[in-house]
């Protein structure tokens, strides 16, 4: 069976993990990794939000599945659009790593966290979600776009181009770089991206035999949390680069979800929380989206879409 993956180091680590787990469960099947470069991998000199493509990191892999060049693809779930192309489906969601954002700082600030960095500190991020939330709490920082894979970004930080970077804690952990984390950013400052920390495995929607095989890697609690998050984002018609953040927790048979929509400059924000039955996670996500829309989220999003498009 042919597994599709992006060529980046992190993507390959994630895909190789899926390959290993499937090989352990199904030793009679040979799983081969096939790599592809996506549009998001090729365009490195433009801010993600300005490219305007919801499938920046997935389209080429999805085309490969439709053309029967690969059987299924492994994605960072946060990169996978909430509306999939006709004929494709989300077969499984793996157990989530820590979904929080993390601060990584230059050596000269090794004793600092966000609230102790100096005024005017240059903070690198390619995410409008992170930018909007951090600008609200830390308007005295200078925020600068940063692109490239994780190693490239860290090299720019170490060379002194930035005082700090905001990255996904899960990605740093998977790359064996958890020691670079100076602060795991609490949800009170930055709600994480939809699906952050989880992997999504996508395949043809009508291949029931393959879907049942891939379901062996599914983690039920992660699935329920992420389905709620994806329904929330889908209902707000937000792409990966819109300032929409979430946090989900499960207690017993209840799911609690916090959601935020913020303007890019951080001055406008609407946030709310819902709790409901774990048996209907997507209904909960839709309910939260409706609540935020009633509180002004749509006006904020319309302003952003007029500026950066609906990517």
Best CA proximity match to 170, nearest among 7, 44, 14? 14
Q: Name every residue whose Cβ is closer than 8 Å to that of residue 237 and which is 6 or more positions away in sequence.
A: 301, 310
End-to-end CA distance of the chain: 32
Counting other chains too, the contacts that 249-256 makes at CB distance below 8 Å and 24 or more residues apart are 249/225, 250/221, 250/224, 250/225, 250/278, 253/277, 253/278, 253/279, 254/278, 255/224, 255/225, 255/228, 255/281, 255/284
> What is the spatial distance between Cα 84 and Cα 59, in angstroms, rounded to a whole number?
10
13 within 8 A of 174, measured Cβ to Cβ: yes
Structure tokens at 203: 């395949």
Sheet with 183-184: list strands edge to edge: 142-144, 122-124, 164-168, 101-105, 183-184
For 184, the 3-state DSSP assignment is strand
Q: Kindly list the catalytic residues.
A: 79
């Amino acid at each position: 069976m042919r597994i599709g993956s992006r060529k980046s180091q992190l993507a390959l680590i994630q895909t190789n993990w899926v390959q290993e787990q499937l090989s352990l469960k199904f030793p009679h099947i040979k799983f081969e990794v096939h790599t592809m470069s996506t549009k998001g991998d090729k365009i490195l000199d433009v801010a993600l939000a300005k490219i305007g493509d919801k499938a920046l990191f997935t389209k080429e892999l999805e085309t490969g599945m439709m053309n029967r060049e690969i059987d299924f693809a492994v994605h960072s779930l946060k990169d996978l659009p909430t509306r999939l192309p006709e004929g494709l489906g989300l077969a499984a969601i793996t157990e989530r790593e820590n979904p929080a954002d993390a601060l990584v700082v230059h050596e000269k600030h090794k004793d600092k966290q966000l609230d102790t960095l100096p005024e005017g500190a240059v903070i690198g991020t390619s995410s409008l979600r992170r930018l909007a939330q951090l600008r609200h709490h830390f308007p005295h920082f200078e925020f600068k776009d940063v692109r490239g894979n994780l190693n490239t970004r860290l090299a720019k930080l170490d060379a002194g181009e930035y005082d700090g970077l905001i990255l996904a804690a899960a990605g740093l952990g998977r790359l064996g770089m958890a020691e670079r984390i100076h602060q795991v950013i609490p949800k009170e400052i930055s709600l994480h991206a939809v699906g952050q920390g989880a992997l999504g495995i996508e395949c043809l929607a009508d291949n029931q035999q393959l879907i049942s095989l891939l379901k062996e890697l599914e983690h039920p609690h992660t699935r329920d949390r992420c389905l709620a998050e994806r329904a929330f984002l889908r209902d707000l018609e937000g792409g990966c680069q819109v300032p929409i953040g979430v946090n989900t927790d499960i207690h017993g048979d209840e799911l609690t979800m916090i959601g935020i929509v913020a303007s890019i400059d951080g001055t406008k924000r609407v946030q709310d929380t819902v709790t409901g039955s774990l048996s209907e996670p997507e209904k909960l996500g839709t309910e939260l989206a409706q609540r935020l829309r009633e509180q002004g989220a749509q006006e904020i999003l319309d302003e952003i879409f007029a500026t950066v498009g609906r990517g």
